Amino acid sequence: IGDGAPAANYGYAKSGYSVYEEENERLTESLRTKVSAIKSLSIEIGTEVKNQNKMLSEMESDFESAGGLLGATMGRLKSLSRGSQTKLLGYMMLFAFFVFFVLYWVIKLR
């Protein structure tokens, strides 16, 4: 009887240890799966950030070129309004009014 009791305790202790070991293995596998998912998600986020940064730099260069074009156009308009070309602008406006009145007169006669 004395020899059987310690063997039963040893078997019970080993069985309890086995339960804890199995639970630890299950939790470790669950943690491994979650870490793997987070890793793949972070890699996808990094790829998306790189693509967005590339798009932003392309948009920046497009806006810079459009700004340069707009600045050059505004400079030309300022020089046109200040220069001796104001007579030309006046003649163009008179011509536009003349065409408008001629078209109005033609439509009125119909």
Contacts of 81 (CB under 8 A, 6+ apart): 89
Percent of the chain with pLDDT over 90: 39
Taking only the tens place, the pLDDT of each residue in 24-42 is 999 999 999 999 999 999 9
**pLDDT score of 60 more than 60:** yes
pTM metric for this prediction:
0.47
Place 18 in a pLDDT band, splitting at 50, 70 and 90.
confident
Output 38 or 18, whichever has higher pLDDT. Answer: 38
Q: What does 52-95 look like in DSSP terms, one character per residue?
A: HHHHHHHHHHHHHHHHHHHHHHHHHHHHHHHSTTHHHHHHHHHH
The reported pLDDT for the residue numbered 83 is: 63
